[in-house]
């Protein structure tokens, strides 16, 4: 979601479940639910058949290299993870960035499918794409940069003004995407990197010292697993997400309009002109937002529909089917026919923001030197719902002292 325009808290989880049940919506609440909740199977409509391109090659050790310095002298590093079976990922401790994701096509040809920059300066000077970053303390938008908690109103920096309506986006002026995280390879020798960050009490207006851990792990079946954990010493809202943009034909290689998308989501949360949810739930059937069966992204993106006009295309939160929490369940699939690449996303989160790269305009040149034209990448941000602190009908994102925020999203790459 880019605008140039730009078990969680159980008592809140129970309240959210009750509200959702009353609305006959998703029987889910927060990203922490009891571990014994069963995850539903992938929908039959998701066309999940793939061809295995992995081999018996062992994973390679995680490597580290210098990636430059920030203006204040802080050193930034780049880490390479390689599972030895076709998936190689580069991660930076600046913004917990996924700098590149290299995967094979159906002929075995490797390409980087994640939009972004070759240099640290590219990310430092970026003006709002959030390419590859972990975003927080609260991902997505908070209306007017304000929320109330425990009888107190908190004011955040408003860094986004769609339709000239202010909001706080992805953590504010200096969100987690601008932090330098403490990073170290996993101690068990797996192709994994563990990144930690302490968001101090009052940072960007949020209460509480929030200790965050993000772990990227490459699994043998070419899955990139992202695990989030956080604890706090004061009640605070938390909603973390990964903001990579994908083009399965290869970054900088045309648009994503011919990619086929499936979303395990019968509803979405419609928005106002300021891209803030109305608090209602819209059934996607018979609308341009119905991706419950595979559909090319460009098929109805230019339909005359108020919600498409507000987002200049797709930039909305879909309500995922199945029970959130527990084990990751099927959320989305993307298929690019020419390369044969398939991306399957599973998550413990209740929602997913699909952004179709509407405000990329060709002024950014990617890692191969090609311009990122309009709709040359798509983001699928697993998350809790936008503006949750101000929406009584949405699952709570409040984390209390003594509790642990936990969330998992998996990105599986294969070919067909």
pLDDT digits (tens, 9 = 90+) for 298-323: 999 999 999 999 999 999 999 999 98
Quote the number of domains for the chain.
1
Active site residue 336: no
pLDDT digits (tens, 9 = 90+) for 145-166: 999 999 999 999 999 999 999 9
Nearest CA to 410 out of 332, 357, 298, 314 is that of 332
Question: 12, 170, 243, 384: which is the annotated catalytic residue?
Answer: 243
**Can you tell me the mean pLDDT for 216-239?**
98
Residue 3's pLDDT is 44
Kindly indicate the confidence band of residue 176, based on its pLDDT and cuts at 50, 70 and 90: very high
- Is 1 inside a domain boundary? no
Active site residue 384: no
pLDDT value at 16 more than 80: no
- Is 87 inside a domain boundary? yes
pLDDT digits (tens, 9 = 90+) for 122-147: 999 999 999 999 999 999 999 999 99
Element (H, E) at 311: helix 306-311
- Is 362 inside a domain boundary? yes
Residue 12's pLDDT is 39
- Is 372 inside a domain boundary? yes
- Distance (Å, whole) CA 282 – CA 35: 29
72 Cβ contact list (under 8 Å, min separation 6): none
Enter the tokens of residue 387.
Answer: 């503006």
**Can you tell me the mean pLDDT for 198-217?**
98
Dihedral (CA of 247, 251, 257, 258) sign: negative
Kindly indicate the confidence band of residue 56, based on its pLDDT and cuts at 50, 70 and 90: low
pLDDT value at 59 more than 50: yes
Residue 389 dihedral angles phi and psi, to the nearest 5°: -60, -20
**Can you tell me the mean pLDDT for 231-239?**
98
Nearest CA to 218 out of 191, 244, 183 is that of 191
Please report, rounded to a whole number, the percentage of residues in the chain having pLDDT higher than 90.
85
- Distance (Å, whole) CA 133 – CA 123: 9
Residue 317's pLDDT is 98
Enter the tokens of residue 203.
Answer: 């940072």
State the CATH number of the domain containing residue 314. Answer: 2.70.98.10
pTM of this structure: 0.88
Q: Which domain holds residue 377?
A: 10-415
- Distance (Å, whole) CA 222 – CA 85: 7
Residue 44's pLDDT is 42
Q: Burial of 184 by CB count in 10 Å (0-12 exposed, 13-18 middle, 19+ buried)?
A: middle
Contacts of residues 60-63 at CB distance under 8 Å and 24 or more positions apart, as own/partner, are: 60/84, 60/191, 61/185, 61/189, 62/185, 62/186, 62/191, 62/192, 62/193
- Is 2 inside a domain boundary? no
pLDDT value at 204 more than 60: yes
Please report, rounded to a whole number, the percentage of residues in the chain having pLDDT higher than 70.
87
pLDDT digits (tens, 9 = 90+) for 245-302: 999 999 999 999 999 999 999 999 999 999 999 999 999 999 999 999 999 999 999 9
pLDDT digits (tens, 9 = 90+) for 63-76: 999 999 999 999 99
347 Cβ contact list (under 8 Å, min separation 6): 320, 324, 328, 329, 331, 382, 407, 408, 409, 410
**Can you tell me the mean pLDDT for 402-407?**
98
Q: What is the DSSP string of 262-274?
A: EE--SEEE-B-TT
Q: Name residue 142's beta-bridge partners.
A: 168
Question: 8, 381, 384, 410: which is the annotated catalytic residue?
Answer: 381
Element (H, E) at 325: none
pLDDT value at 117 more than 50: yes
- Is 276 inside a domain boundary? yes
- Distance (Å, whole) CA 7 – CA 28: 12
Residue 57's pLDDT is 81
- Is 3 inside a domain boundary? no
The mean predicted confidence, pLDDT, of the chain is 89
Q: Among 20-24, 233-237, 345-349, which stretch is predicted with the lowest mean pLDDT?
A: 20-24
Nearest CA to 129 out of 385, 364, 339, 345 is that of 364
Q: Among 12-26, 192-206, 283-297, which stretch is predicted with the lowest mean pLDDT?
A: 12-26
């Amino acid at each position: 979601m880019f605008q140039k325009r730009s078990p969680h808290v159980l008592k809140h989880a129970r309240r959210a479940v009750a509200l959702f049940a009353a609305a006959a919506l998703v029987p889910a609440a927060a990203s922490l639910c009891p571990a014994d909740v069963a995850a539903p199977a992938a929908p039959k409509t998701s066309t999940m058949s793939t061809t295995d391109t992995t081999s018996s090659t062992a994973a390679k050790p995680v490597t580290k290299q210098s990636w430059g310095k920030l203006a204040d002298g802080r050193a930034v590093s780049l880490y390479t993870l390689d599972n030895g079976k076709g998936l190689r990922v580069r991660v930076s401790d600046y913004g917990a960035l996924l700098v590149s994701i290299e995967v094979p096509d159906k002929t075995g040809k490797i390409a980087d499918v994640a939009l972004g920059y070759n240099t640290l300066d590219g990310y430092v000077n970026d003006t709002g794409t959030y390419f590859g970053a972990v975003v927080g303390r609260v991902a997505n938008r908070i209306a007017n940069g304000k929320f109330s908690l425990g009888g107190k109103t908190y004011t955040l920096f408003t860094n986004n003004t769609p339709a000239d309506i202010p909001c706080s986006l992805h953590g504010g002026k200096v969100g987690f995407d601008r932090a330098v995280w403490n990073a170290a390879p996993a101690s068990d020798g797996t192709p994994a990197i563990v990144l930690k960050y302490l968001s101090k009490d009052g940072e960007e207006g949020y209460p509480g010292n929030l200790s965050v851990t993000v772990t990227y792990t490459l699994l043998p079946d070419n899955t990139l697993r992202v695990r989030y954990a956080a604890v706090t010493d004061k009640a605070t809202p938390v909603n973390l997400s990964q903001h990579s943009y994908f083009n399965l034909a290869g970054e900088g290689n045309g648009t994503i309009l011919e990619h086929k998308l499936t979303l395990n989501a019968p509803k979405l949360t419609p928005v106002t002109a300021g891209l803030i949810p109305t608090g209602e739930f819209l059934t996607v059937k018979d609308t341009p937002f119905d991706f419950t069966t595979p559909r090319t992204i460009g098929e109805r993106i230019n339909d005359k529909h108020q919600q498409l006009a507000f987002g200049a295309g797709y930039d909305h939160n879909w309500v995922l089917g199945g029970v959130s929490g527990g084990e990751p369940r099927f959320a989305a699939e993307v298929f690019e026919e020419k390369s044969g690449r398939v991306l399957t996303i599973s998550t413990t989160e209740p929602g997913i923001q699909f952004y179709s790269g509407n405000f990329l305009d060709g002024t950014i040149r990617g890692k191969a030197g090609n311009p990122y034209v309009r709709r040359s990448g798509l983001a699928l941000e697993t998350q809790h719902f936008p503006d949750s602190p101000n929406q009584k009908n949405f699952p709570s994102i409040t984390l209390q002292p003594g509790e642990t925020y936990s969330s998992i999203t998996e990105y599986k790459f294969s070919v067909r």
